[in-house]
Chain A
């Protein structure tokens, strides 16, 4: 009996301490960050450091940083009915204390250009005018500039980027793996020609300032891309670049042609320099980064060796290992990182699933040096540690999954994660 009384007393004291601790917090501090230690859990090259700007935001997809430092985050799933977050660091400690939310649609894409904030749903694009204070003038009344784009669930994320001639580009991912009659089904033939290419499997161009556009008003800027989530306008080259998510299931669908090990590495995740009229060959072809060839897909008579018609399609400018899922592409234009990073590409790899039963891979941000708008060297891991342990990475149970990249006005870069909903800021402090 005495012991029970003691336990109750002890529990009561713990409760009181906890209440006291909570009472010290004000309701304003919505964003209490808990990731501590060196670089908030990330591994970075010497001279760089990272802090976590915000945590547990939900499915934080793409991000953009305004010239005043405000960060806009597009959510893939509504949080309290809202799909866009504005994060503000009012006291300059790098952490966002003020979070406001608006927009009633989920989605992936977000961008700022010429005094407007652009955001995409899974079927359209909206824009919000920024006022003289550099804030969204009316969060409840965006202009719907593009609507009714294909959304069939699979590959429905609509990433956006803008050029300097008044155009906005949006990827429309193919709602299919390889355009088989029956999607992802063993023995089902590839459709030839693939009808999906009429409305998806490419990047479309629209006017950035016209309302209610859809397919009739748009231009299919390029085709033959299965799905791309990382697209961006390169200011130095003044061209569009995109990272393709290559096809899945070479082994499951064609086990006599591809081993499990080949399935894990193939096909490449391709990087494209996109010109008007480019055709990169999906669904008929895929890129084999080991043979350095665009090969005929097995659904279209390929055998892992023959190029067939694929020699005639546009080639990638770089090829990464298979299934790493590049979800963001950023060309670094700042002056704060060492010289080698200038105009080079950062790519956020969301991480694989189709490598099973081989170990999964990715869940990192890589850097690829560039010169005159083309890759100039080999890729290296820039930011790692998102997955957690090596076991977490291998099993695909990553803690965090990099999805968005943005450059801040101070020359640092930001990374978003759509698993826990964290945002990191990575800066260069020098050696």
Chain B
């Protein structure tokens, strides 16, 4: 009897946990996260570092800034077009430019941005291939 109550309450608990997680943010699939991590290591890690914390005065952090967890369109633009002017986040300025990554595929951009928006303590919606396509069409 006690065993059964235990089992039921665990089930109930899991149910509520999954409901609340679903309400907050749908977690991206491990496959997408794994692909995104690979792209991150190739294209981003050199400057933004393994933990997404960036480099003081040079390369900005990717942790909980509006640039990363804010509107997707802006973020996709930053990756595609880059930023040439120094950037200020909080009290800190970052002087290295963000290079343009127009050569990256829509799939790679969507994977890496989904990964970045859900790593380093960030939780934000996934970036789909269609999101990237739409921005690329506008930029052309």
A-B CB contact pairs (8 Å), 23 listed: A153-B93, A153-B95, A154-B86, A154-B95, A183-B84, A184-B97, A185-B100, A186-B99, A186-B101, A251-B46, A255-B42, A353-B47, A353-B55, A353-B59, A354-B47, A356-B46, A356-B50, A357-B50, A395-B49, A395-B51, A396-B49, A396-B55, A419-B56
Q: Which residues of chain B have C-beta atoms less than 8 A from A395's C-beta?
A: 49-51
A187 at the interface (CB under 8 A from B): yes
10 more CB-based (< 8 A) A-B contacts, given A183-B84, A186-B103, A252-B47: A154-B95, A183-B99, A252-B43, A252-B46, A255-B42, A263-B46, A353-B59, A357-B41, A395-B51, A396-B55
A184 in contact with B50 (CB, 8 Å): no
Shortest C-beta distance, A56 to chain B (Å), equals: 15
B86 touches A187 (CB 8 A): no
A288 interface contact, C-beta 8 A: no
> Once bound together, how far apart are the Cα atoms of A187 and B85, in whole Å?
20
- CB contacts under 8 Å to B, within A220-260, are 249, 251-252, 255
* Minimum Cβ distance to chain B for residue A357 (Å): 6
A contact residues, range: 20 to 34
**B58 on interface, CB distance cutoff 8 Å:** yes
For chain B, residues 20 to 54, give those with C-beta under 8 angstroms from any C-beta of chain A.
41-43, 45-47, 49-51, 53
Contact A354:B46 (CB < 8 A) given known A153-B95, A154-B95, A183-B84: yes
Say whether A171 faces chain B, with CB atoms less than 8 Å apart: no
B49–A356 contact, CB under 8 A? yes
- Main SS class of interface, B: loop
Minimum Cβ distance to chain B for residue A305 (Å): 23
A185 & B41 in contact (Cβ 8 Å cutoff): no
Question: Which of A185, A251, A263 gathers most chain B CB within 10 Å?
Answer: A185
Interface range on chain B (Cβ under 8 Å from partner) = 20 to 34
Interface status of A416 (Cβ within 8 A of chain B): no
Q: Does B96 contact A (CB under 8 A)?
A: yes
Q: What are the residues of chain A within 8 A of B46 when measuring CB–CB?
A: 249, 251-252, 263, 354, 356-357
Partner pick for A185 among B53, B58, B82, CB 8 A cutoff: B82
- Which residues of the partner chain A approach B43 to less than 8 Å between Cβ atoms? 252
Chain A residue nearest to B82 (CB atoms) is A185
Identify the interface centre among A183, A249, A251: most chain B CB within 10 Å of its CB: A183
A352 CB → nearest B CB, Å: 9
Answer yes or no: A182 CB below 8 A from chain B CBs: yes
Residues of B within 8 A of A251 (CB): 46
Using A184-B97, A395-B51, A396-B49 as known contacts, say yes or no to A353 and B58 having CB atoms under 8 A apart. Answer: yes
Which B residue sits closest to A360, measured CB to CB?
B49
Q: In chain B, what residue has the closest Cβ to A185?
A: B99
* Residues of B close to A155: CB separation below 8 A: 95
> Residue A161 at the B interface, CB < 8 A?
no
Return A406 CB to nearest CB of chain B, in Å.
22
Please state if B82 and A182 are interface contacts (CB–CB under 8 Å). yes
Q: Within residues 141 to 160 of chain A, which ones have a CB less than 8 A from any CB in chain B?
A: 153-156
Q: How far is the CB of B86 from chain A (nearest CB, A)?
A: 4
Question: Is the pair B99, A184 in contact by a Cβ cutoff of 8 Å?
Answer: yes
Contact (Cβ within 8 A) A156 B95: yes
Min CB distance B108 to A, Å, is 13
Distance in angstroms between the alpha carbons of A397 and B55 in the assembled complex: 9
B100 near A182 (CB under 8 angstroms)? yes
